[in-house]
Amino acid sequence: MMEVLFLLIFVGVLFFTGLTVLGVVLSIGLSFLFVLAFGMLAVFLKMLPWLLIIMIGIWLFKKNT
């Protein structure tokens, strides 16, 4: 799925910047940044249940002491 997202962003940015060396470099850079951001969001959402369990455990531990 991330490869498709990278390809769509790359083609979209390349469409707006034009087919030049600067346009290709800009497209690769922006595509990389977007995929990196979406990847970090996916990791955060994957870890969210565990983070909530840890937060509830700490809250219960502090509440009882």
* Long-range own/partner contacts, residues 13-16 (CB < 8 A, 24 or more apart): none
Q: Hunting for tokens 């909530």 — which residue is that?
A: 52
Summary mean pLDDT of the chain: 90
**Overall pTM > 0.75:** no
- Angle, helices 21-64 vs 2-17, to 10°: value is 140
At residue 13 the predicted structure's pLDDT band, cuts being 50, 70 and 90, is: confident
Q: Where are the domains of the chain?
A: 2-64
Beta carbons within 10 angstroms of residue 6's beta carbon = 16
Per-residue pLDDT, 27: 87
44 or 7: whose pLDDT is higher?
44
